[in-house]
Amino acid sequence: MRKKYTLETFATNFKSIIADSFGIDASKAKYIISPVYDPKKSETGEDGTFRIIVLSEENIGGKKIGFDDTLSILTAFESRFPTKIEVSKVDAESSEIIEIRCSTRVRNPSAIANIESKYAPFVVKKETVQ
């Protein structure tokens, strides 16, 4: 059976991963969006538009953005969604500032619905050990 994935599903998953992972209300947090481009993967025209226009340095570069505006940016193509969005706290002291590392690749809702993640396409960024 195919799962249905909508804009509402995306917004619910976004709010839920922030609340469940960090214990904060997603609507009260601020977000810093960083695009993640993989030159090894083929890019569609929509991927390019999403990367060059929506996720441009001029549009999002280093800005702390509220939930509604962040949601609007991430769902700019509404019928398509980023394939992977990693979320993490910027630092432990500023628990209401969340970094979002967003894939520049966008795909249709059925592709996102089948990603193996409780909050697809959102995942908590794993810390790297140095």
Q: What are 81-124's pLDDT values in tens digits?
A: 999 999 999 876 666 899 999 999 999 998 898 888 889 999 99
User: 129 pLDDT band (50/70/90 cuts)?
Assistant: very low
Q: What is the mean pLDDT of residues 12-36?
A: 95
pTM: 0.88
Question: What is the predicted pLDDT for the residue at 50?
Answer: 93
Mark residue 23 as left, alpha or beta (left: phi above 0; alpha: psi -120 to 50; beta: remaining). left
- Mean pLDDT score of the chain: 89
Question: What is the predicted pLDDT for the residue at 92?
Answer: 62
Question: What is the predicted pLDDT for the residue at 130?
Answer: 41
Domain boundaries, the chain: 7-122
- The size of the chain, in residues, is 130
